[in-house]
Structure 1
């Protein structure tokens, strides 16, 4: 199977990392997980900068994973204003499947409170970061709202990308 590019975007607390973990758990070996927060915060210790070093590296990591035969899943808030150009280039060169988890702010706060890293930042921090429907112009994204359960979202992505379904 041709390696697939999958991008999962959404606000903090929208369930992005849970979705990617679900995809990996269902699919198994062969998925490269490229997490924006890890590259930005851990690798570079960057704040959210307009031309941050993490942006280009995320694109390069996805390209490398695809070239090596891995399916590449890029996950993060990935605000359009900073990451839109890089994501458009990836889509132009590799196609891909782009998903936006469109979850209301109140629900993201509720979900965040249940996470292990709940004390890492506050609801006030989340409010500062929250951008409703920060959709890309190109490529078009499949919007998944709060009515889709985690399992349903994972199955939808596996099916639409040709990596599943795994029932």
Structure 2
């Protein structure tokens, strides 16, 4: 199977990390998880900067993973104004499937309160970061809203990307929605 690129964007607390973890659980080995927060905060200790070092490294990591035969899932808020150019290049070079989790602010705050890192930042911080429908012009993203459960979201992504092999048929747990970790 040809390596697949998946980009999963959305506001803080929208369920991105939960979706990626469930995809990996269902699919099994072979999926590289490229998390914007890890690259930006841990690798570079950067603030959100217009030309941050993390931006191009995220693109390079995804390209490298794909070249090595891994499926690559790039996950993060990835604001269009800063990451749009890199994401457009990734799409041009590798194609891929781009998703945007469109979750209302109040729901992201509710979900954030259930996460391990709930004490790391407050709802006021989330309000400062929140950008409704920060969609890319190109490539077009599939928008997934709050009515889609975690299970349904994961199954949709696996089906649309062609990653729904035997390992992907395992269940991830409850069907109560994208609750828990981001």
Instruction: Name the TM-score, length of structure 2 as normaliser.
Output: 0.91
RMSD: 0.6
Q: Does 1:72 align with 2:72?
A: yes
Q: Which residue of 1 aligns with 2:48?
A: 48
| Cα separation, 1, equivalents of 2:85 and 2:131 | 18
Q: Which runs of 4+ in 1 moved over 4 A?
A: none
Query: Could you list the runs of 5+ residues in structure 1 that have no partner in the other structure?
Result: none
Q: State the number of aligned residues.
A: 167
CA apart distance, 1:17: 0.3
Question: Helix, strand or coil for the counterpart of 2:75?
Answer: strand
| Cα separation, 1, equivalents of 2:116 and 2:12 | 14
| Cα separation, 2, equivalents of 1:50 and 1:164 | 37
Correspondence 1:16-55 to 2 at 5 A: 16-55=16-55
CA apart distance, 1:133: 0.1
Question: Helix, strand or coil for the counterpart of 2:119?
Answer: helix
Query: Could you list the runs of 5+ residues in structure 2 that have no partner in the other structure?
Result: 170-182
Q: Which residue of 1 aligns with 2:84?
A: 84
Query: Deviation digits for residues 22-53 of structure 1, max 9, x if unmatched?
Result: 00000000000000000000000000000000
Question: Helix, strand or coil for the counterpart of 1:120?
Answer: coil
| Cα separation, 1, equivalents of 2:18 and 2:8 | 11
| Cα separation, 1, equivalents of 2:118 and 2:3 | 34
CA apart distance, 1:127: 0.1
Instruction: Name the TM-score, length of structure 1 as normaliser.
Output: 0.99
